Amino acid sequence: MTGKPEDHLMRQSLTRDYPRIVRGEGPYLIDDQERRIIDGASGGVGPCNIGHGVEEIVQAMTEQARTLVFAHVSMYENQPQIDLANKLCDELAPPGMVRAYFTSTGTEANELAIKLARLYHLCRGNATKYHIISIWNGYHGSSIAATSYSGRSSRRHELHPYFFPTTRMEPPYCYHCPYRKTYPDCGLHCAHALEQAIRHIGPEHVSCFIQEPIGNTLGCVAPPPDYFSVIRKICDKYDVVMIADEVITAFGRCGVYFAINGHYDTVPDLIATGKGISSGYSPLAATLIHEKIWNVLAEAKRSLPGFTYGGNPLSCAVGLAAQNYIQKHNLVQRSAELGSYMYEKARAELTDLPLVGDIHGGKGLYMGIEYVQDKDTREPFTAELNLAGQISDLAFENGLATCPVTGGVDGMLGDVTIIKPPFTIPQEDIDRIIDIVKKTILQANDTIVRQWPAHGSFRK
């Protein structure tokens, strides 16, 4: 700890010192030492898709703040909310998405989706369908409910007594296949496991299945191309609502507006979004509802109560401005093109470095560099080393902000550095990102791994 003066803020971790960020300029963060850091993680957890300080958004925000900031959506409607819902459903979302329900966070958007799935079954007289199926190491938010259907074991342990009935399947993680199989000879065992899970629980009890199209807490791991079409078929067969958690992946992060139809040619029943919808300029999220679900709710005249700030005009005006900006500057296309450039360059320049096991990604400006002790056996490092966390701190010192992910392999083990810069980043900064990552990995190998007491067991 640096001996900064004590203040009254309770921070998320009490075991590290946080750099203090005072400004954002385009794809850069500026800290209180006036250091200019490349924002390689779009604000740390990925919302700032268009970069910091974009004047058009500031103007839209100011104008809306002058006009109307709040009039609760349980009593009134407002134009920005309607305009944004229309934009999402008419222009950006996968076909068949006909309604948007706004919340402030991705956690709330997922919970709304879970509640909508339950309501859909209730409206059709299927009151016994309540059970939720998800995957291990998926992440859907930090409320108690979302933690119960998320699969991040380390975050689940202390909250167990509060959980409701959920079941998790093994994730589609080919590099560490939980079934020790190889794609495509595996026959997509991981996807077909959903059918077994539903039958074990009893289809009459299963309400929905939820998964991220590309797993961030797995380390930016994309399932095989035919994975979600199998999931879709099984959900249809057993009348299980399919929910895609696109809180990170939507709005261009994966080089397409929505990863689930853009990369997997699959349309789910509900989509939870968040983060990039407002590009981080104001808290905003939305659950998108397919006409299959909507028609039932509309017929029964059933909806759901929301949250105080859900659909507030200020956040919706900001979301609208952010999406207009993305369209005007063709930034989804840019994410796709620069993302391919970044991924190819990373594969060429980082794969043979020590520590690097695999590089996940290749879909938009979204990439994970996974570290292993042994490149042959793919054995991860021990959790105590917190290698991804230490690499992230080193990278920051070297001028690059990244997002460390740990525990992706089995809940405890696994170290990945996620890179997900703003779509507006210049190509030269992608080159700088790869240079800094390379330098950082070599430094980490010399200073962290070689000085680690368990280094004797380290082979490659």
Query: 303 is written with which tokens?
Result: 């909806």
Distance in Å, CB of 108 to ligand PLP, minimum = 7
Instruction: Provide the minimum distance between the beta carbon of 212 and ligand PLP in the complex, in angstroms, as a whole number.
Output: 5
| 28-44 burial: b if 16+ Cβ within 10 Å, else e | bbbeeeeeebbbbbbbb
Angle value at C-alpha 455, between 373 and 1, nearest 5 degrees: 95
Q: Residue 130: is it exposed, middle or buried by C-beta count within 10 angstroms (0-12/13-18/19+)?
A: middle
Residue of 216, 266, 279, 424 that binds ligand PLP (CB under 6 A): 216
Joined together, the tokens standing for residue 242 give 């399919």
> CB of residue 168 vs ligand PLP: minimum separation in angstroms?
15
Least distance between ligand PLP and beta carbon 272 (Å): 7
Asked whether position 105 contacts ligand PLP by CB under 6 A, the answer is: yes
For residue 299, the 8-state DSSP code is: H
| Least distance to ligand PLP, CB of residue 219, Å | 12
What is the nearest approach in angstroms of ligand PLP to the Cβ of residue 215?
8
Task: Please tell me the count of residues contacting ligand PLP according to CB under 6 A.
Answer: 14
| Dist. CA 437–CA 268, nearest whole Å | 36
Q: Using the 8-state DSSP alphabet, how is residue 94 labeled?
A: P
Between 141 and 362, name the residue whose CB sits nearer to ligand PLP: 141
Among 118, 140, 176, 232, binds ligand PLP (CB under 6 A): 140
Two tokens, residue 315: 């956040």
Q: Which of 24, 51, 141, 357 binds ligand PLP (CB under 6 A)?
A: 141
Nearest to 123 by CA among 301, 242, 289: 301
x/- mask, ligand PLP, residues 12-51, rule CB under 6 A, reads ---------------------------------x------
In angstroms, give the least distance from the CB of 154 to ligand PLP.
15
Of all residues in the shown chain, the one whose CB is closest to ligand PLP is 106
Q: Tell the smallest beta-carbon distance from residue 43 to ligand PLP (Å).
A: 11
Among the residue ranges 106-114, 119-127, 309-317, 437-445, the one whose residues contact ligand PLP (CB under 6 A): 106-114
Q: Maximum CA pair distance of the chain?
A: 66
- Closer to ligand PLP by Cβ: residue 45 or 123: 45
Minimum distance of ligand PLP from residue 245's CB (angstroms): 5
Beta bridge partners of 416: 370, 405
Question: What is the DSSP-derived secondary structure letter of residue 379?
Answer: B
Q: If we measure between CA atoms, which residue out of 28, 29, 42 comes closest to residue 366?
A: 42
C-beta contacts of 395-399 below 8 A and 24+ residues apart = 395/40, 395/436, 395/437, 395/440, 396/19, 396/37, 398/436, 398/439, 398/440, 398/443, 399/35, 399/36, 399/37, 399/38, 399/432, 399/436
Q: Which of residues 228-267 bind ligand PLP (CB under 6 A)?
A: 245, 247-248
The contact pattern for ligand PLP, residues 393-432, with x = CB under 6 A and - = no contact, is ----------------------------------------
Nearer Cβ to ligand PLP (129/168):
168
Least distance CB 199 / ligand PLP (angstroms): 27
CB 235, min distance to ligand PLP, A? 19
- Measured from the CB atom, the residue of 197 and 210 that comes closer to ligand PLP is 210
Instruction: Tell me the per-residue interface mask from 168 to 207 with ligand PLP, x by CB under 6 A, - otherwise.
Output: ----------------------------------------
Tell me: does residue 211 bind ligand PLP (CB under 6 A).
no
Q: Which is nearer to ligand PLP, 142 or 167 (CB)?
A: 142
**Residue 111 binds ligand PLP (CB under 6 A):** no
Closest to ligand PLP by CB, 213 or 399: 213
Pick the piece of the chain touching ligand PLP (CB under 6 A) from 137-145, 169-177, 183-191, 378-386.
137-145
The token pair that represents 446 in the structure block: 């010399």
Q: How far is the CB of 54 from ligand PLP (least distance, A)?
A: 20
Q: For residue 152, give the nearest of 135, 131, 176 by alpha carbon.
A: 135
Degrees to nearest 5, angle at CA 188 with 94 and 215:
50
Q: Is 106 in the site for ligand PLP (CB under 6 A)?
A: yes
Q: How far is CA 292 from CA 97, 242, 299, 368, in A?
A: 9, 11, 11, 35
Q: Which is nearer to ligand PLP, 316 or 444 (CB)?
A: 316
Q: Using CA atoms, how far apart are residues 407 and 217, in angstroms rounded to an integer?
A: 8
- Residues with Cβ within 8 Å of 185's Cβ and at least 6 positions away in sequence, in order, are none
Interatomic CA distance for residues 275 and 255, integer angstroms: 16
Structure tokens at 176: 């560490």
Determine how β-strand 367-371 pairs with β-strand 415-419: antiparallel
Residue closer to ligand PLP (CB basis): 106 or 399: 106
Residues that bind ligand PLP (CB under 6 A): 45, 105-107, 110, 139-141, 212, 216, 245, 247-248, 274
